[in-house]
Structure 1
Amino acid sequence: MDLEKIKELSDFLKETDITEFFYEEGGLKIKIRRGHCISATRAAHLHSEAVADTSNTLHTDTAHEDKYIVVKSPIVGTFYRCPSPGATNFVELGDKVKSGQVLCIVEAMKLMNEIESECDGEIVKIFHESETSVEYGEPLFHINPL
């Protein structure tokens, strides 16, 4: 696929309500997403903040991570830490949770899917901020089981 075809595809998507498109042919993979656009400078700044930020981790010793329960996203969608804009988060770092307690919501195709804790324990790591995209099988939380 040449650059002209990619430009045509991009222009077509601008004219429709489609916000994300994935195309694969042979070894070529193209993913186009509209919406949350940020400049390259801002993206680099956010990346450097994410690398430097350890505020979402209680325990930084990776040797202990094997004992944690990993709550993974069961679907591709948008991750939300709270039930509605302006509401308090379902859980915070260090919170004690019970099995079956709602930890977050993953929205997929306008359906809100509540993600529940698989065990009693303590939240020791939160992998995402609210309103970020998550993939199938991607870690959302580490829980230290009690």
Structure 2
Amino acid sequence: MDLREIQNLIKFVSKSGATEVKLEMDDFKITIKTTSEAAEAAITYVQQAPVSQVSAQAPVAQSENPTAPLEAVDEDSKYITIKSPIIGTLYRKPSPDKAVFVEVGSTISKGDVVCVIEAMKLFNEIESEISGKIVKILVDDMSPVEFDQPLFLVDPS
């Protein structure tokens, strides 16, 4: 895992509202702790081979305008969210050599496949339960998703 991936993980954790995330791989261990009061994320990065520890402080993104987050919530509230029905790995394409199912601006109908989620070596097609236009894609291709995690924002009008 390189520094850029760690930074993306920190951003994801700070946006998710989680207070602590631990990730252990073969050669390293990462613990990310966030506190809303201090508005900081403390990261501990430990490599098993040389057994060194690096600690850093990463600020959580804060808006200078306190009403901006409320406006964003109001703006997004007119959209319907397509959420993950299962835990697994999301794929936006049916196969690596094919085009993505949907893009921002795509018009979808009820029953259209919007992505595939792999769970336990089974590929599950995720169908839209609504008709509308995709306004935002909230998850990257080939990324892990949780149950009930928002995947797409759809404008039903």
Shorter-chain TM range is: 0.5 to 0.7
Aligned alpha-carbon RMSD (Å): 2.3
> Which digits, 9 at most, give the CA deviation of each residue in 1:80-127, with x for residues without a partner?
000001210000001111111000001100111111111110001101
TM-score normalized with structure 2 length = 0.58
1:49 to partner: Cα distance:
8.9
1:99 aligns to what SS in structure 2?
coil
1:49-60 correspondence to structure 2 within 5 Å: none
Partner AA of 1:106 in structure 2: I
1:49-128 correspondence to structure 2 within 5 Å: 61-128=72-139
CA distance in 1, matches of 2:127, 2:97: 21
> Which digits, 9 at most, give the CA deviation of each residue in 1:1-58, with x for residues without a partner?
xxxxxxxxxxxxxxxxxxxxxxxxxxxxxxxxxxxxx12x122454589899xxxxxx
Partner AA of 2:141 in structure 1: S
CA distance in 2, matches of 1:68, 1:91: 16
TM-score normalized with structure 1 length = 0.62
Gaps of 5+ in 1: 1-37, 53-59
Partner AA of 1:65 in structure 2: D
Identity %: 45
Could you tell me which residue of structure 2 aligns to residue 17 of structure 1?
none
Q: Residues 85 and 42 (structure 1 numbering): CA distance in 2 closer, same or farther, change over 3 Å?
A: same
Q: Residues 93 and 49 (structure 1 numbering): CA distance in 2 closer, same or farther, change over 3 Å?
A: farther
Q: Which portions of structure 1, spanning 4 or more consecutive aligned residues, are displaced by more than 3 angstroms?
A: 44-52
Aligned length: 101
Equivalent of 2:148 in 118, 137, 145: 137
1:104 aligns to what SS in structure 2?
strand
1:128 aligns to what SS in structure 2?
coil
